[in-house]
């Protein structure tokens, strides 16, 4: 399934802007959410092909939201890439156990992220 629509979930306006600009310049249609509540609304409304998920957010964190999305029969088909400053191996393992397809640490390297998106789109 080719990836065209991406939902960026991050409470940082700077990160949302950076990721939106990067993805838009590379031909993706991008929606953004700043917290889990907004993300759940947009997942249903936008039906993204991919979600880039921050971990550290107020309220429900990215690990919890990833688990919720990947266990819901209506949204479990949407791949998630964790995109976070949490750079410990245990964080990565936990993110993947919650259902994320991949894990990228901040600061995000544009080429690495685009390669990971391409790999998911070709899977």
SS (H, E, C) 75-114: CCCCCEEEEECCCCHHHHHHHHHCCCCEEEECCCCHHHHH
Enter the pTM of the model.
0.97
Q: What is the pLDDT of residues 68-111, one digit of tens each?
A: 999 999 999 999 999 999 999 999 999 999 999 999 999 999 99
Q: Up-side HSE of residue 36: CA atoms within 13 Å toward CB?
A: 15
Edge to edge, the sheet with strand 5-9 lists: 29-33, 5-9, 50-53, 80-84, 102-105
CATH no., domain 5-122 = 3.40.50.2300
pLDDT interval class at 19 (50, 70, 90)? very high
Q: Mean pLDDT across the chain, nearest whole number?
A: 96
């Amino acid at each position: 399934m080719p990836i065209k629509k991406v939902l960026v979930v991050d409470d940082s306006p700077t990160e949302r802007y950076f990721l939106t600009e990067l993805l838009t310049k590379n031909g993706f249609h991008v929606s953004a959410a700043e917290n889990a509540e907004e993300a759940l609304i947009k997942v249903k409304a936008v039906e993204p092909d991919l979600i880039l998920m921050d971990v550290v957010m107020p309220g429900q964190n990215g690990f919890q939201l990833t688990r919720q999305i990947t266990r819901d029969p209506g949204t479990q088909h949407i791949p998630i890439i964790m995109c976070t400053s949490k750079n410990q191996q245990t964080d990565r393992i936990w993110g993947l156990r919650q259902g994320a397809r991949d894990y990228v640490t901040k600061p995000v390297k544009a080429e690495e992220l685009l390669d990971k998106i391409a790999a998911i789109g070709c899977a």
